[in-house]
Amino acid sequence: MSKRTPLIAGNWKMNKTATEGVELVKEIAAAVGTESSVNVLLCPPFTALSAVSAAVEGTHLGLGAQNMHDKASGAFTGEISASMLRDLYVTHVILGHSERRSLFGENDAFINRKVLAALSASLKPILCVGELLSEREANQTMEVVRRQIEQGLAGVPAAKAESLVIAYEPVWAIGTGKTATPAMAQEVHAFIRKLLAQQFGAESASRILILYGGSMKPDNADALLAEQDIDGGLIGGASLEAKSFVDLVQIAAKSLRD
């Protein structure tokens, strides 16, 4: 674990009603709601944001969204703007998740517009990048990640670089139970930090959080978080139950002490 304050973020995806979400938050808050050595973020579906926003008030738990549109307002049926998220005290927004890329056709140019719109609205983008299994097998991992980082972050002003969070999520590890080994993940994280240094300078790059995502669970988190450039996790399945998510937060807190 690095000197950066770790972030454990739960991406609930299309799970939990508002009522179920509040129940989950209450359990998480009771266990780690005052934990301050680790930043904890919950990213519920849009319909639960308002209720979860109220439920995290007065705790150290933060609130993120799973997506947004790049335009400020207008005729975009079904979409949500940055200011709508800000109004609910959302601080972070996941952008370019592989499910958005593969199931909803989002490309790097669109994701880039969202990143810029989020930063303009003082939301912190969590930009997701990662290769498909076929790309890894064809030795294209670095090339794919480079394209996603360079195009996703095009035009980001250096002054805003430290508001960025990057999540490396190898697509073949998402929801499959297969995790990148700590060494495999570290290799890509170090490469991402090098790309960030090229764009924003080494000083800023050293402060940007790079999360790992893809079947991260209490039994593999320790080894992943021990790597120098892995600054936390973007957690899918294991964020849907209080016990596993709380365990992950506690493992991240412990990794700081080790």
Q: Which residues bind ligand 13P (CB under 6 A)?
A: 11, 97, 169, 174-175, 213-216, 234-238
DSSP code for 66:
S
Question: DSSP 3-state assignment of 231?
Answer: coil
Which one from 35, 169, 189, 227 is the annotated catalytic residue?
Answer: 169
Instruction: Specify whether 241 is catalytic.
Output: no
Tell me the closest approach of the beta carbon of residue 145 to ligand 13P, in angstroms.
Answer: 16
Gap between the Cα atoms of 228 and 156, Å rounded: 25
Find the residue with minimal CB distance to ligand 13P.
Answer: 236
User: With respect to ligand 13P, which residue has the nearer C-beta, 114 or 200?
Assistant: 114
Q: Which CB, 2 or 11, lies closer to ligand 13P? A: 11
Please pick, among 69, 92, 97, 189, the residue that the annotation labels catalytic: 97
Six-digit token string for 169: 């999520």
- CB nearer to ligand 13P: give 53 or 66: 66
Q: Cβ of residue 75: shortest distance to ligand 13P, in angstroms?
A: 30
Q: State the residue for tokens 């947004």.
A: 68
The enclosing H or E element of 65 equals strand 61-65
Distance in angstroms (rounded) separating the CA atoms of residues 100 and 198: 27
Give catalytic status of residue 27 as yes or no: no
Structure tokens at 21: 């979400």
Residue among 24 and 235 whose Cβ is closer to ligand 13P: 235
Residue 18 Cβ vs ligand 13P, minimum distance, rounded to whole Å: 20
List C-alpha distances in Å: 174 to 2, 69, 108, 158, 228.
24, 24, 20, 31, 22
Q: Is the separation of the CB atoms in 16 and 232 below 8 Å?
A: no
Q: How far is the CB of 171 from ligand 13P (least distance, A)?
A: 9
Residues that are catalytic: 97, 169
